[in-house]
Amino acid sequence: MTPRKAVPAIFQGLESGLKMFRWIVLVLLVLFLFSGVQKVTSENVGLLLRFGRLQGASPANQIKKPGLVLALPYPIDSLLQVPVKQEGEVTVKEVWKGITDLAALDKIDPVLEGYCLTGDQNIIQTQMVVKYRITDPIRFRIWMDDPEGMLSEVVLAAVTQTVAGWGVNDVLRLQQGGNETPGTTESLADTVRRRAQQRLDQVECGVWITALEFKEIHPPRHVVAEFRDVQNARIEMETQKREAEGFVSSTIPAAQAESNRLVKAASVYQNAAVAKAAAEFSVFEQIYQEYQKNPELVWGRLFMETFEQIIENVGKLRFVAPDTRVIVSDAESKQ
């Protein structure tokens, strides 16, 4: 048997190094393959993209629920997490300028600041806060490049359209009387939210507006003092109108009650007068019938009764001789 030729020490070291390198490469390869495994948090859902293409045959398979997701390493696969359980918020400032902004000029420059034109050709500036939830993560995250920017533009278009149909006083009060149902009021925020949601549904962007709030709304800072004077005058007018209505509501019932009392008293007096006249007529008729039968007797009786009444009412009597001159003083006349 031929003895094995001895391997130099340097080659033995190289062989050992190659074995170690293979194990290191194998471990790195395993780590690389498992580096694509990611976790979708409880408040999100995941969308798996492979070379930029969404994986899954149906929307149910394309949307990954919270938990571990097996994926190939980046840049082969990428996992997008969409916060469907969180409420997002967007602030719309395109038509707003601070009323206390000292750096602004004494006029509105559309290049530097925005505004809305009301239906009665007045200008207002406003800042809105929009809260939303994601209803379709695929449409929201894949179909749109800038979903929050689109939401802001849609809300801006809705508020511009709405304000253009309202008067400035209604806009500043944030509500308007109902056109179809008199006596009802329509909130400016609700109207803008409804119109913005209709536009979002038309483009199918997978967003639902949960709330819309006007954080600040005011006329241009250059005429805010005049607007306040007008508002104060309007408030004073409404106050006086309510006071007048209160006076009317308290005076008319009192006048109506007094009218009813007078009518009732007149009716009572009428009944009493008619009854008295009827009684006197009955007595007169009886006396007249007796008078027709025996005129002298009836006349004498009436004369005596009348004379007795006069005597009773005269009181003190003084008899004087015929042809005597009588002077009656004031004291005696009063007696």
- The most confident of the ranges 7-16, 190-199, 229-238 is 190-199
Q: 82-104 burial string, b = 16+ CB within 10 Å, else e?
A: bebeeebebebbbbbbeeeeeeb
Q: 306-322 burial string, b = 16+ CB within 10 Å, else e?
A: eeeeeeeeeeeeeeeee
52 pLDDT band, cuts 50/70/90, is confident
User: Does residue 331 register a pLDDT over 60?
Assistant: no
Kindly report the average pLDDT of the chain as a whole number.
Answer: 79
- The most confident of the ranges 134-143, 177-186, 298-307 is 134-143
User: Does residue 77 register a pLDDT over 60?
Assistant: yes
User: Does residue 37 register a pLDDT over 60?
Assistant: yes
- Tokens found for residue 72: 């190939």
281 pLDDT band, cuts 50/70/90, is confident
H/E element holding 158? helix 147-163
% of the chain with per-residue pLDDT over 70: 78
Average pLDDT score over residue span 130-158: 90
Distance CA 141, CA 201 (A): 16
Residue 24 pLDDT:
66
Of the candidates 152, 218, 160, the one whose C-alpha atom is nearest the C-alpha of residue 192 is 160
User: Does residue 100 register a pLDDT over 80?
Assistant: no
Residue 180 pLDDT:
45
Higher pLDDT, 95 or 176: 95
Average pLDDT score over residue span 125-135: 92
Alpha-carbon distance values, 11 to 6, 14, 17, 24, 320 (Å): 11, 5, 10, 20, 186
Neighbours of 156 (CB within 10 A): 20
Higher pLDDT, 101 or 40: 40
Average pLDDT score over residue span 187-208: 92
In this prediction the pTM is 0.58
Residue 181 pLDDT:
44
